[in-house]
């Protein structure tokens, strides 16, 4: 993989303030990007379980989709979220969370993306996101 996608990804991660607040990072392996959300106490929503806040999980998956687009769309302008649908499947426990985005369809103006987030096993996702994103006009 060339350095250009890695540079685009790093630029996205450093540019978005909420990504920095979450502590999110990402790794590229070939053409696959895995987003990583290390556990931090400020991400807890339910202190009784303890469990990650649902908004944190949703935002992490949305940022994963945008990060994946930043790698594949070379124009440098950030896409904009049109809509997202999130399914919460299991509690997000107080541990590191991972996510991968699948670009289902990338057209000239709109991208359709599916994201799954998991913790211990990818086969047991804690949440999924289906979203549409407006691509920057080039």
For 125, the token pair is 């996702």
For the chain, which domains are there? Answer: 3-134 (3.10.129.10)
- Chain centre to alpha carbon of residue 130: 11
Mean pLDDT of the chain: 92
Q: Is the pLDDT of residue 92 over 90?
A: yes
Q: Is the pLDDT of residue 103 over 80?
A: yes
Q: Is the pLDDT of residue 4 over 90?
A: no
Q: What is the pLDDT of residues 35-55, one digit of tens each?
A: 999 999 999 998 998 999 999
Going by pLDDT thresholds of 50, 70 and 90, the confidence category of residue 137 is: low
Q: What is the pLDDT of residues 106-116, one digit of tens each?
A: 999 999 999 99
- Tokens 């996205």: give the residue: 12
Cβ-proximal residues to 2 (8 Å cutoff; 6+ apart), any chain: none
């Amino acid at each position: 993989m060339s350095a250009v996608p890695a540079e685009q990804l790093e630029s996205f991660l450093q540019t978005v303030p909420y990504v920095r607040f979450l502590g999110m990072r990402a790794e590229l392996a070939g053409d696959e990007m895995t987003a990583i959300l290390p556990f931090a106490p400020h991400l807890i929503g339910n202190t009784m379980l303890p469990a990650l806040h649902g908004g944190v999980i949703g935002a992490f998956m949305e940022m994963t989709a945008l990060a994946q687009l930043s790698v594949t769309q070379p124009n440098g302008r950030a896409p904009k979220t049109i809509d997202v649908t999130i399914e919460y499947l299991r509690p997000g426990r107080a541990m590191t969370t991972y996510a991968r985005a699948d670009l289902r369809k990338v057209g000239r103006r709109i991208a359709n993306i599916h994201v799954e987030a998991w913790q211990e096993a990818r086969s047991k996702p804690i949440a999924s996101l289906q979203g549409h994103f407006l691509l920057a006009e080039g």
